[in-house]
Amino acid sequence: MQKGEAIERVWSSLEAERDFAVELTQALVRIPTVNPKFVADPELNKEPEHQAHLARVLEDLGFCTELPEALPGRPNLVGTWPGSEARSLILCGHVDVVPEGERALWTHDPFGGELANGNVYGRGALDMKGGIAACVAAAKAIRDAGVILEGRLELHAVVDEEAGGFGALDLIRRGHLAKAAILAEATWDEVQPAEGGLDWVRVTIRGKIAHAGWRYNAVYPQAETADRPKPGVNALEKGVKFIAALQELERDWGRRKFHPLLPPGITTINPGVMIAGAGIGEDGRPQVLSNPAIIPDTCVMEFDLKYLPDENEHDVRREFEEFVSHWAATDSWLREHPPKVEWEIGGLRFPPVSTPENHPLVQSMLGARRQLGYPAELGGYIAVSDAAHYAGAGVDCVIFGPSGDGYHASDEHVEVDSLIDCAKTIAAAAVEWCGVKN
């Protein structure tokens, strides 16, 4: 069987079984899988039930399944069709979701999986159980069309993406890799072979503790006498100045760093955490947070720092650290007590994804989009995804998934027509990349 004929058969099968992708999306949404790191509630933290249900679906399609535990009580799911390593492909999606938020803002049950107005509604429908269902539907259509792939095909349904991707990292540590991967995150039907890198970085400024009643002694000129108390140094105030200065570095990066598939200014340095107080604990944060009568000697700031897909992580880190050092040199206290910079806070690090535009998998997906009658558009993924972890392990990754709305918001939904077209694109790419056994 030639690849072109195989793809036509697969697409015919998908059209004949449109309800499969829709009903699977509904079934997965109806099993709440809120990440327990956000909300700990047995009624909402049902990842094991979700994975068991999906494993049964994959087994019915002839996949060999495994349920390795990535975190306590939180299993990943791997389904495998055997084949050659040279043409191996991973189809991946995450099963954990963010909390539903304020229920009064929803017009549909967030865990009802309701079908209305051509959409499937519910938390995770778009992010990203619809993408998972599209991957499974693509595999089902390949099987139903009688197509046997030459390359190994694996389906990965991973936990904990919303909290850093530690589910995918666990599978990678276990050796579940391939030559290429498609991450079915929502991309509104755009083929995205690029994603910027991301680091969480902490900057700690130490001052000098003192009683706030003697603040005047540090703020206004005082005669140096034998009985003068040693002035305090307010680390919080220096932290505020640092954040203001860092905005200049962010603006400089935005003006001179560009990538053709991402919007200008994507290289942001977001100040997400700022904590000041007295002392410093083993966790690297101040020990006393509730006494404004103390001049704080510790200010901890944590930043979400993004860089371009084609940048080197070590170069970016070095540039940031040089900025901190040069800024500190303008302050007499900080010249002698330089800020401390720490990377990978909470173990979080997302390497960049930079798959060439002429990569066969990318071109196959663009070709499928054209064949389906849509513009063949390339883009870059604005946020970060588990593609980063696979790419960091040497896997060529493309991010591609369906359209919808309500991403991390109320009335989240995935569009049914987009879901089916997404499955067709993924199926065609799998056939072309993995090859067909004759």
Catalytic (active-site) positions: 96, 161
In the numeric block, which tokens belong to residue 434? 């993995």
Residue from 375, 329, 324, 382 nearest 353 by CA: 382
**How many residues in the chain?**
438
Coil, strand or helix: which one is 16?
Answer: helix
Sheet of 115-116: strand order equals: 115-116, 119-121, 413-415, 404-405
Strand, coil or helix: what is 197? strand
The token pair at 385 is: 């995804």
Closest-CA residue to 189 (of 433, 426, 428): 426
CA distance 353 to 269: 19
Q: What are phi and psi of 145, to 5 degrees?
A: -80, 0
Q: Are strands 119-121 and 77-81 parallel, antiparallel or unpaired?
A: unpaired
Strand partners, 304: 200, 270
Q: How far, rounded to the nearest angstrom, does the alpha carbon of residue 350 sit from its chain's CA centroid?
A: 8
What is the DSSP code (8-state) at residue 338?
A: P
CA pair distance 205, 402, nearest whole angstrom: 44
Position 330, amino acid: T
A 10 A CB-CB count for 251 gives 12
Helix or strand (DSSP H, E) at 22: helix 18-29
Neighbouring C-beta atoms of residue 428, cutoff 10 Å: 26
Cα gap 146→6, rounded to integer Å: 8
CB 435 within 8 A of CB 7: no
